[in-house]
Amino acid sequence: MENKSIIRHATWLELFYDLIFVIVIAKITHILAKLGSSDHGYIYYFKYLLMFLPVWWAWIGHTLYNNRFDIADNWQKVLTIFQLFAIIMLSFFIGPDFEKYYLGFTFSYVTIRYLLILMYWRSYYLHHHVKEVSKYFMIGFFIGTSISLSSVLFTGITKYIILYAGILFDFLIPIIGKKKIQSVAVDSHHLPERLGLMTIILLGESILSITNSLNVISSDWEARIVILLGYVLILGVFWLYFSFIEKDIQGIPMKHGQSLIYGHLPLYLSLGLIANLIYFSIPGHPIDNTVFSILVLSSMTLLLVSLQLIRISYLKHEPALRTLFFLVLKIGVLVAILSIGLPKIIVLTTCILLLLATYGLHHRSRKKLRLAVKH
């Protein structure tokens, strides 16, 4: 059970763990930079997704283990350090040519997962009160990871199907066993903090996409405006997300925490897309109009949908139908702007206004709840 008198925070080793993941996240996000260099740019959306999913699952696996079990002995630290070496190796095998790096990527990924299974094995023997939960994760993740590893025995598209079948099996383990695992509830302060730290890392990629383009601002007024709007967009995402997490989510009872955990996957995907949305909005970075429209629509839709799904899951006072109506309305506005073919400055401004409208709706809902509680 979570000790309500103690508010847990990320450890120094967890922060260092995230620092290593910065390298991996940066390389995955930069895959989308190829969107503008190919007649079939949409293929890189698919490659981005294929590489992001196992990396996110590797990170969330270690994060949730630390959150639930918090075993901070020397052996746990050693296993985490071995994981860090595997993550560094994984970063070597990330790039647009997935086929070329497939073996190295797969072996690095399954090494991270098998080390996590070792951690669950230790908790199974060390802590009797979490024995059943540890055993459930240990066996389930072992099967899923072994399925993924077996993909190296195949060729062509078959190996990809088997790799991601194993990952999908892993994904389903916590969902299927949510009644069993809620006996070891997630820490409702530590988990939002860890998820927030990864959000900051991904927002950093947007900052990087802007700073890498600063050499054009001295001679191009349009680039200056776009860069300014890019900063405002990043600030808007930051403000919207952290006001929501801090005021509405952090500290509330979560039990298994599935909605928050899986709800962050589309959010994280959107942040990598937003980094490239800003990059391709800056003059001098050409991209096909259709590919750019998909980039804008997918990034903003994933962001808005993920935030609303998390709100509906945890804030029972949030009216689902009204939330759905405004969500569809905001996406509809974006589709209309893109279909007209307005300049990228207008598109970025529209994205900022949609974030502002979302923040206003959240604030209004929070204010109405406070008034209802008073009465």
* pLDDT one-digit tens code per residue, 230-284: 999 999 999 989 988 887 787 777 777 888 889 899 999 999 999 988 888 888 7
43 with 101: CB under 8 angstroms?
no
If you average pLDDT over residues 96-112, what whole number do you get? 93
What pTM was estimated for this model as a whole? 0.89
Please name which of 2, 364, 1 lies closest in space to residue 190, comparing C-alpha atoms: 2
Max CA separation in the chain (angstroms) = 66
Q: State the pLDDT at residue 150.
A: 97
Other Cβ atoms within 10 Å of 2 Cβ, number: 17
CB-neighbour burial class of residue 104 (10 A; exposed 0-12, middle 13-18, buried 19+)? middle
For the stretch 283-314, pLDDT in tens is 877 888 888 888 888 899 899 888 888 877 77
Of 24-28, 214-218, 323-327, least confident by mean pLDDT is: 214-218
Of 113-122, 224-233, 241-250, least confident by mean pLDDT is: 241-250
Greater confidence (18 vs 334) lies with 18
Q: State the pLDDT at residue 307.
A: 86
Question: Residue 321 corresponds to which tokens in the numbers above?
Answer: 């139908």
252: DSSP letter: S
For the stretch 184-198, pLDDT in tens is 878 888 888 999 999
Using a pLDDT cut of 70, give the percent of the chain over it. Answer: 89
Average pLDDT over the chain, rounded to an integer: 84
Q: State the pLDDT at residue 210.
A: 78
Does the pLDDT at position 69 exceed 70? yes
Q: Return d(Cα 220, Cα 280) in angstroms, integer.
A: 15
Which stretch of DSSP H or E encloses residue 360? helix 344-374
Q: Return d(Cα 299, Cα 52) in angstroms, integer.
A: 14
Q: State the pLDDT at residue 327.
A: 72
Residue 276, CA distances (Å) to 199, 234, 291 in order: 16, 12, 12
Per-residue pLDDT band for 4 (boundaries 50, 70, 90) equals very low
For the stretch 23-52, pLDDT in tens is 899 899 988 888 777 666 778 888 899 999
Q: Return d(Cα 19, Cα 247) in angstroms, integer.
A: 26
Other Cβ atoms within 10 Å of 20 Cβ, number: 17
Q: State the pLDDT at residue 144.
A: 96
Question: Residue 48 corresponds to which tokens in the numbers above?
Answer: 């981005």
Does the pLDDT at position 181 exceed 70? yes
Q: Return d(Cα 81, Cα 252) in angstroms, integer.
A: 32
